[in-house]
Amino acid sequence: MAKGYCFMHEDTEIANILVNDYGELSEIALIESEGAKKYLPMLPLSSDRADVALAKWLRGRTVPATRQDIKRELTAMGMSEFEYMLENLGLSLTDHYWLNPAGSGYTWEAINLYTNNFRAVFSLDIADDDTQSIAGKTNFVPSASLKGDLKKKWIITQNGSRVLVKGSSGHSIRQSLCEVLATEIHRRQGKFEYTPYKLIEISSNGSTTVGCMCPNFTDIHTEFVPAIDIVNSAKKRNDGNYYEMYLELCSRQGLDASYLRAFMEYQILTDFVISNTDRHFNNFGVIRDSKTLCFLKPAPIFDSGNSMFYNSSRICTDEGLLDLNVTSFTKKEIQLLKYVTDPKLLDLSLLPGEQEVLELFMLDTGVKEEDTVKIAKAYSKKIEYLREFQGGTRIYSYPYLRQQGIGRER
Number of domains in the chain: 2
Residue 107's alpha-carbon distances to 13, 90, 236, 286, in angstroms, are 11, 14, 39, 26
User: Any bridge partners for residue 13, and if so which?
Assistant: 8
- Same domain? 245 vs 373: yes
Q: HEC profile for 140-176?
A: CCHHHHCCCCCCEEEEECCCCCEEEEECCCCCCCHHH
Domain contains 208: no
Q: Radius of gyration of the chain from Cα atoms?
A: 22
- Same domain? 234 vs 131: no
User: 335: which DSSP letter?
Assistant: G
Q: Distance (Å, rounded) from C-alpha 165 to C-alpha 152?
A: 6
Domain contains 327: yes
Could you tell me the CATH number of the domain that includes residue 302?
A: 1.10.1070.20
Domain contains 331: yes
Following DSSP, what letter does each residue of 2-50 receive, concatenated? -EEEEEEETTEEEEEEEE-TTS-EEEEEE--SHHHHHTS----TT-S-H
- Same domain? 335 vs 234: yes
Domain contains 210: no
* pLDDT higher than 60, residue 19: yes
Q: Distance (Å, rounded) from C-alpha 182 to C-alpha 92?
A: 25
- Same domain? 241 vs 332: yes
Torsion 277-280-285-290 (CA) sign: negative
- Same domain? 103 vs 246: no
- Same domain? 368 vs 274: yes
Domain contains 216: no
- Same domain? 229 vs 106: no
Percentage of the chain modeled with pLDDT above 70: 93
Residue 181: name the closest of 385, 325, 365, 380 by CA: 380
Question: Torsion angle, CA of 232/238/243/245, rounded to 10 degrees?
Answer: -60
Q: What is the pTM of this model?
A: 0.93
- Same domain? 275 vs 135: no
The confidence band for 135, taking pLDDT boundaries of 50, 70 and 90, is very low
* pLDDT higher than 50, residue 37: yes
Residue 175: name the closest of 67, 282, 308 by CA: 308
- Same domain? 136 vs 270: no
Give the mean pLDDT of the chain: 91
- Same domain? 248 vs 338: yes
Residue 382: name the closest of 285, 281, 304, 272 by CA: 272
Domain contains 364: yes
- Same domain? 278 vs 369: yes
Give exposure, 136-167, as e/b (b: 16+ Cβ within 10 Å): eebbbbbbbbbbbebbbbbbbeeeeebbbbbb
Residue 244 confidence (pLDDT): 97
* pLDDT higher than 90, residue 139: no
Domain contains 42: yes
Domain enclosing residue 26, as ranges: 3-111+127-142
Residue 216 confidence (pLDDT): 97
Looking at per-residue confidence, does 77 or 317 come out higher?
317
Highest mean pLDDT among 42-56, 112-126, 365-379: 365-379
Domain contains 191: no
Residue 134 confidence (pLDDT): 44
Q: Are 121 and 157 in contact (CB under 8 A)?
A: no
- Same domain? 242 vs 383: yes
Residue range 208-222, pLDDT digits in tens: 889 999 999 999 999
